[in-house]
Amino acid sequence: MQNKFLQTGQHGYHPLRKLKIIVKGIRFAVLSDVSVLYKVVVSAVLFVPVLLFNGLFDASIILLATGVMLSAEIFNTAIEAICDYMKTDFDEKIGIVKDVSAAATGVAIFIWICVLVIETIEVWPHLF
């Protein structure tokens, strides 16, 4: 797609190309970062029984919490990669940027864990 401000890139909007790029990015994040992989697996394992026993609303809450957590993880990874690319040696200001990015991810992970614990408590009696 063409950047209308820089006048670079290809003309036209290609939704399939965008979807391919999205899938490529998610695949890279899941396969290159074990913390992202296990969180996706945990969410998927809990998603199925919650969908079966608690319904669509509870399952959508899990999807929402997992999506927010994954977005935060991916943004954190991107911010850290940009910081490392820009400056390889120690810099206190870049350290603060990385810490704030990690804190945002930590908040998203905390909310994700809360949602999963609540949904596990709700679905537990149906499993046993």
pLDDT, tens only, 13-71: 778 888 999 999 889 888 888 888 999 999 999 999 999 999 999 999 999 999 999 99
Report percent pLDDT > 70 for the chain. Answer: 91
* CATH topology for the 34-127 domain: Helix Hairpins (1.10.287)
* Per-residue pLDDT at 32: 87
Contacts 24+ apart (CB under 8 A), 104-109: 104/72, 104/75, 104/76, 105/69, 105/72, 105/73, 105/75, 105/76, 107/72, 108/68, 108/69, 108/71, 108/72, 108/73, 109/39, 109/69, 109/72, 109/73
pLDDT at res. 16: 87
Domain ranges of the chain: 1-32, 34-127
